[in-house]
Structure 1
Amino acid sequence: MNSLFIALNMLRRTLFQKKSFLMYLVIPAATVSLIIGVLGQQSEHGVDIAYINLDRGAMGSHLLQEISMLPDYRLKEEASETALKEVVTKQKVSSAFLIPEGFSEMLMKGASAPIDMYQLNLNEASITLKINLDSILSRYQGTIELHSQQGLQDAALREAVEKTISQMEKHQVKAQVTDLNLYVNPNMHTVIGFMLMFMMGLINNTVSVIMDDRRQRTMARTYSAPIHSFEIVLGNFIGSFLVGTLQVLVILLFTRYVTNYDYGLPFVSQFILLEFFLLASMGIASAVTSMVKNASNMGMINSLVVTPTCMLGGCFWPISLMPDWMQKIANFVPQKWVIEAIQRMASGQTLSQMWMHMGVLTLFGLILLGVGSVILRPGDAEVS
């Protein structure tokens, strides 16, 4: 019971105040939700593609018909090649293509009929558009070659090819694409990263409360009371853990059921992983605080620990973008392990397969908590 009284007192001093409630519960939930609204959700909108058709034959029209039937593209016709280049340069469209004059005649003669593409830079939309155009052209060339081998020429060949292509456009045999949700939202690491950063900031605040108790000799008076030392240590530990757990619950519940963000893994599994990270954060905070003798330096020390470790751990950008030597250093920060575990589970793995990640996070917490236990010594005075 003594430990619970100490834990509840820390909870009251840390969160149950208007300023702390806003700073450590409302603002983190709102910020993470804002990040989700800006870049967290998967984009389901079509891609704008500009085009010009200079071909006077039927093949150019057939080609546009095939492209327009693809669900990923929205076609916009431009009046001239100059206007086509302008919309690409101003990034009003993702990419553009031009069907040259005499396109149909070149195909009918069995010659190569290249389609000019315009793009400001390589991206997924331009690459898939190129693949689709090449695929359609290949089908047209195969159809023309097949009828040519049957001895058809000129008008007869043109009529047979157009009839065949018209039947192909009906797509009487279709493939059904099943989305198995095996991909991970590429922006999820940013959402999780900011969540971890707020968690570390809150845990550092709870450790600062313990430092204030030491500075004001409240800790010394607590140790002089007729209770066991381990009850005081356990009470402070439970209090810090409860504070962090409450923040995790608020952020997860708000982002999942108010913002409706799909993390791609069960609520309980994600909560358990974040609890392991919470333990590691407590260890880092206590270890850092044990080296600080003046509470006024805590803000500076935290900024030199929280921000760099979040950067190394992949909170702001994927670890794969960093040099090899930085990727190796990332193994020594807990953010890397929890983000990797959440991404693996979002791609289909189970919580039981994350035993190594949870074990590493537990070692972070236990070792650093042992190092930082010096902050609970009541005899240490603050250095001015």
Structure 2
Amino acid sequence: MRDILWLIRNTLSSTFRQKKNIIMYLCLPLIGIFVAILAYGGEQPMTLHIGVASHDQSYITDDTIKFLNDLDNVKITKINDSEVQDKITSGALDGVITFKSGYSGSVLNGDPGHIQITSIKGAQVTSFVKSYLYRYIDNISAIAKAAGGDQAAFKTMYHGFQGTGFKLKAHSLADTSKNKDMAYQTIGFLIMIMLMSAGNLSEIILLEKENRTYFRLLSSPINARKYIFSNIVVNMIVMTAQILITLTVMTTIFHIDINVPFWEAAGVMLIFALIAIGLSLVTVAFSNSRSAASGLQNLIVMPTVMLSGCFWPVEVMPESVQKIADFLPQRWALDTLTKLQDGDVSHIYLNIMILFAFAIAFFLIAIYKFGRNNDTRNFV
């Protein structure tokens, strides 16, 4: 045990003696937080500026305009026909709604028409307006059909519709979707850094073989198992620090609510740390030099990180690519955190078992390959 502790202390001191390693291992994971804030932190509710040109003088038209004016995030401006093109092309208005002559008559006849929506921003504007406006018009048209041409009955039902007898109280709820997106982006970046850090720390084995330090150590009471185990412990110490620092800065300094208890999120990431270490040992076991290990690491880490959805939601990728992502541990780590955020714990134990299965598989492959490497004396 004393030998292992000496190896751990010696590896940590030699690694963090260089200030650049402190920045790379402990500060670099925080970049994901700033990227997430830049991507999602500046989003504000959008207010649509809609112009209204009315050629139908009717109380139904006036009430329709009033309905639009009462919508949240919509600002109505009355304009003339001559101003439509100029306001739209200059960007002063997001869209223009024109009520043509005969609009109120078409509504009363049960066949709404004589209304035009103009916008150069497309469905981004028109879909929002249509979803509310057309529903309102359909309700009035349904009342007209129910009245069956009886104007007195229509006005009675219409005024009852306009002046509903119940009160509605609105309470604003915090939008958690933005925090979830920011947490997802940050954790995805942290996963990439953990994989790279594990690879760099495991390459110390190859470095010390190249320097012949490894063989001098094995000539002492220290054996290969103790040496590899000490490297695994160093990896876990560094990645535990990365996880705790990143999650702490997220929640306490930037107040990003990850919607998961701190220790649950840390626990999932610690399981992934085992996967990262196992994968890094596999790359070292199959490499005969640091350059080969570094190239193999880059060949594995970056493509799998992108395919698994660490940089963007996996749902935006083609279905064929999503099936590939199901075979990647990064995807299962992110999926586990997402399920915890959504409160879906029915399959969480399956996710945890799959993550442990990845870790065990990588360690077994590394152990097998290290056991088959009998040419260490010729290592260059």
TM-score between the two structures when normalised by the length of structure 2: 0.84
| Residue aligning to 2:15 | 14
Please give the alpha-carbon distance, in whole angstroms, between the structure 1 residues aligned to 2:304 and 2:92: 36
Paired residue type of 2:239: G
Structure 2 residue 268 is the aligned partner of structure 1 residue 273: yes
Structure 1 SS opposite 2:221: coil
Shift of 1:135: 1.8
1:189-241 per-residue CA deviation (whole Å, 9 max, x = no partner) reads: 43322121111111111112222112112222222222454433321111111
Paired residue type of 2:261: P
1:99-143 per-residue CA deviation (whole Å, 9 max, x = no partner) reads: 3344334334554235323453445x6434322112211232244
- Greater RCO between the two (CA within 8 Å, min separation 6)? 1
Shift of 1:345: 1.1
Structure 1 SS opposite 2:376: coil
Please give the alpha-carbon distance, in whole angstroms, between the structure 2 residues aligned to 1:114 and 1:194: 52
Structure 2 residue 328 is the aligned partner of structure 1 residue 308: no
Give the 3 Å change call, closer, same or farther, for CA 27–98 of structure 1 in structure 2. farther
Stretches of structure 2 that go unaligned for 5 or more consecutive residues are none
| Residue aligning to 1:83 | 86
Query: Is the 1:46–1:72 Cα contact (8 Å) retained in structure 2?
Result: yes
Stretches of structure 1 that go unaligned for 5 or more consecutive residues are none
Query: Is the 2:60–2:104 Cα contact (8 Å) retained in structure 1?
Result: yes
Query: Is the 2:28–2:193 Cα contact (8 Å) retained in structure 1?
Result: no
Structure 1 SS opposite 2:48: strand
Give the 3 Å change call, closer, same or farther, for CA 193–96 of structure 1 in structure 2. farther
The number of equivalent residue pairs is 372
TM-score between the two structures when normalised by the length of structure 1: 0.83
Paired residue type of 1:115: I
Query: Is the 2:51–2:78 Cα contact (8 Å) retained in structure 1?
Result: yes
| 1:213-252 to 2 correspondences below 5 Å | 213-227=208-222, 229-252=224-247
RMSD after superposition: 3.3
Query: Is the 1:7–1:238 Cα contact (8 Å) retained in structure 2?
Result: yes
Give the 3 Å change call, closer, same or farther, for CA 92–366 of structure 1 in structure 2. farther
Paired residue type of 1:135: R
| Residue aligning to 1:288 | 283
Please give the alpha-carbon distance, in whole angstroms, between the structure 2 residues aligned to 1:340 and 1:92: 42
Please give the alpha-carbon distance, in whole angstroms, between the structure 1 residues aligned to 2:93 and 2:29: 35
Shift of 1:150: 4.6
| Residue aligning to 1:35 | 35
Paired residue type of 2:376: D
Shift of 1:348: 1.2
| 1:1-384 to 2 correspondences below 5 Å | 1-15=2-16, 17-29=18-30, 31-41=31-41, 43=43, 45-54=45-54, 55-75=56-76, 80-83=83-86, 85-86=88-89, 93=94, 97-113=97-113, 115-118=115-118, 120-123=121-124, 126-145=126-145, 150-152=150-152, 163-164=159-160, 166-168=162-164, 172-174=166-168, 185-186=180-181, 188-227=183-222, 229-350=224-345, 353-373=347-367, 374=369, 380=376
